Amino acid sequence: VVTESVQAGDSNPNEVRIAFDGDAVLFSDEAERVYQAEGLAAFQQHETDKAAQPLPDGPFKPLLAALHRLQSAGEAGGTGMRIRTALVTARSAPAHERAIRTLMDWNIAVDEAMFLGGLPKGEFLREFEPDFFFDDQTGHVTSAARHVPAGHV
């Protein structure tokens, strides 16, 4: 669901920028369910215990994988259009490790990774200037939509 948002900026005319939340977007909602049911301390312990185990795929992993392939092809072919991707997540240490290891396991690189520790995402997204941001939580989408085009997954 696309939220009423500001229009994408035009300060990066030769780039397409897409930003994603992590849990329940790029990754499954496994860790998010732990957080919702048992709280932050349990979530952090769960993620620390499973740091070496990649997170299962989320619904937008195929889109990120496709963007990564396009990035790689663009770099090899020298096309004029660039693609930049970002992970913008409320995770922080120690839970960031599992997200990083998951992307490495998938052999997918993102250009930016922002681990915000629960801070509002909108201001950080304003600086990255994505053409679109995807998140599963209404509050994060609303915060982002004040600054960038955003949609609810």
Written as one letter, the residue type at 67 is L
Q: Which of 21, 23, 131, 136 is catalytic?
A: 21
Which residue reads 């660039």 in tokens? 82
Q: Is 21 a catalytic residue?
A: yes
For residues 22 and 103, the answer to whether their CB atoms sit within 8 Å is no
For residues 20 and 99, the answer to whether their CB atoms sit within 8 Å is no
How many C-alpha atoms does 130 have within 13 Å on its Cβ side? 27
Beta bridge partners of 136: none
Of 34, 78, 74, 38, the residue nearest 55 (C-alpha) = 34
Question: What amino acid positions are annotated as catalytic residues?
Answer: 21
